[in-house]
Structure 1
Amino acid sequence: MWNKIVWVSAVVLLLSSCSSKKKLLKGADLKAENELTIKDNTREAKKNSLRDLFLTNLNYSTFSGKAKMRLDLGKDNYDVTSTIRIEKDKRIWISISATLGIEVARVLITPDSVQILNKFQSEYMVKPFDYLYRFASPDLTFGNLQDLLLANLSVNLLSDIDQVNFKQDSMSVQLDGKLNELDFLYKLNNNNRPYQFRLAQLSKKQLLEANYGEYAMASGQEFPMLLKMIISDGRQEIKTEINFNKVTFNEPVEMPFSVSSRYKVIR
């Protein structure tokens, strides 16, 4: 599932107001008034708990973030910088720069298409969004990619209340369940924000794990400035670390994306 999508989602994620004075949230800050108590796993209780949890998702119309990234492909490691911009439910735009700030790639993802400009090799790839279904479950949506980047709970994964289970201990709340062939797991901190997300298709030994850390306040919302990802298909493993140094919400964003006539088109 993840073998080739890695190059779309590693370009999506790597490749894939908070300034330099961001306030990191330490243990004492994570005791929030939003802390959830799971009483039981009855249908009504789960429904009420999910309603409360969705209220802690980031509320935004646009997002812009600058980050340093490290991609580990086993024998090869790459350090890059990137700008990630999101117009909710419409577009994800990513610019990737290597040494000396030279832009090497640009990505534009919409609910209908995936476009990648490889500036290093002067190539332009354009595919329909459902191209991803060749390598991932058809349950994967554009919204899931947004949620993965921003540490939001995905509504479609949690839509079947009968397939969702809650667990709670002194440290966290866990949600696990199944959507068709996908098994998922969320682990939430005491502010009900994810610190780990796992998505697996066990029959194919395919796994995506995201770990979120260094939560900070950005535009009055709790955002993880650190994202570590592992993508595995049983044969190869790719690791990505994204360290945001500046993020903003609900400000106008530009997403320039033009293709030179000299680029080779790959369809």
Structure 2
Amino acid sequence: MSKPLLLCLLGLFLLAGCKKEAVPTAASTTTENIGTVEVNNFDFNYLSSKAQISLKDSDDNLSSGVSFRMKKDSVIWVSVQPGLGIEAARVMLTQDSVYIVNRLQKEYVAADYAYLRHKLQVDVSFDLLQAILLGNYQAQGAEKALNEGDMQHVQQLRQNLTFDYFIGRLNSKLQQLRVQDNNTGNTITVKYDGFENVGQVPFAHDLAAQVLQKGQVSDFSISHSRISVSDEPLSFPFSIPAGYERLALN
């Protein structure tokens, strides 16, 4: 898999902040009280943004422009654009499928989530990716909640994954999420900061993430120049050009 495409896939774990911008179209809040947990989750119908994703690991320090679109609970769509109007890759995730076109190598992937689990060595799903991108808390599995100063610490066990949520008591927003795959020891840590409103909803405008995979550390960030939410439907164009080679899934 090419590095720009890997950059895109790992960037799907992130959603970081826009600078000062025009007020986007309306959004709404979803406030949930689950046991002792109070959280203010981000809710929307359609979301779009322009962003810059950066990747730093032991081998490379890379960045790329990205266009991002989402339909809540249905589609995550990403176009990777390194510069000069050139699209290097396009990704579309649905609830059960993963589609990737690599224009630089003229190859594509059409698979289920077993492909991403194999590549990233973490047991990911559409709902998990969506929640991480939005900075939302998910109430699932066995959990315990503790008050730790100005944070609520919620720990969950979901099959082979351990989730540690740290929710700010002041704004009831997720401040940090750590996910560990108990089978592999691989972890993803995402920190959310710089909360500003998108419409009427607080949203983390700064984000830093780190992936520990097989003892190797990679750091990621995304900086948005524009982000908006709307009730108006967005399009999610995706096609596979003739002559492209389908990649093996192993």
- 1: CA distance, partners of 2:36 / 2:42: 17
Q: Distance in 2 between matches of 1:10 and 1:149?
A: 11
Q: Give the CA deviation at 1:6.
A: 6.2
Question: 2:106: which partner in 1?
Answer: 122
| In structure 1, distance between residues paired with 2:196 and 2:106 | 38
**RMSD of equivalent CA atoms:** 2.7
Specify the alignment match of 1:199 in structure 2.
Answer: 179
- Post-superposition CA distance 1:27-78 (Å, at most 9, x none): xxxxxxx8x9xxxxxxxxx84334x42xx11121111121111111222111
- Judging by fraction of residues, say which structure has more strand: 2
1:182 to 161, 182, 185: 161
Q: Which has the larger radius of gyration?
A: 1
1:136 maps to amino acid? V
Alignment gaps of 5+ in structure 2: 24-30
TM superposition shift of 1:119: 1.2
Indicate the SS of the match to 1:213.
Answer: strand
The answer to whether residue 45 in structure 2 is matched with residue 61 in structure 1 is yes
In structure 2, the partner of 1:253 is: 234
Q: How far apart are residue 19 of structure 1 and its match?
A: 8.2
Higher share in helix = 1
Residue aligning to 1:240:
220
Q: Distance in 2 between matches of 1:263 and 1:185?
A: 41
Give the C-alpha shift of residue 172 in structure 1: 1.6
1:263 match: 244
Whether 1:142 and 2:126 are equivalent positions in the alignment is yes
Distance 1:11 1:151, change over 3 A: closer
* Distance change in 2, residues 1:188/1:14 (3 Å): closer
> Contact between 2:53 and 2:220, CA under 8 Å: does it hold in 1?
yes
Pairing partner for 1:173 from 133, 152, 159: 152
Alignment partners' CA distance in 2, 1:218 and 1:165: 30
Residue of structure 2 aligned with 1:48, choices 21, 24, 35: 35
- Give the match for residue 136 of structure 2: 152
Q: Is the 8 A contact 2:189 2:211 kept in 1?
A: yes
| SS of equivalent to 1:99 | coil
How many percent of aligned residue pairs carry the same amino acid? 25
Give the Cα separation in 2 of the matches to 1:111 and 1:169: 35
* Superposition deviation, residue 210 in structure 1: 0.7
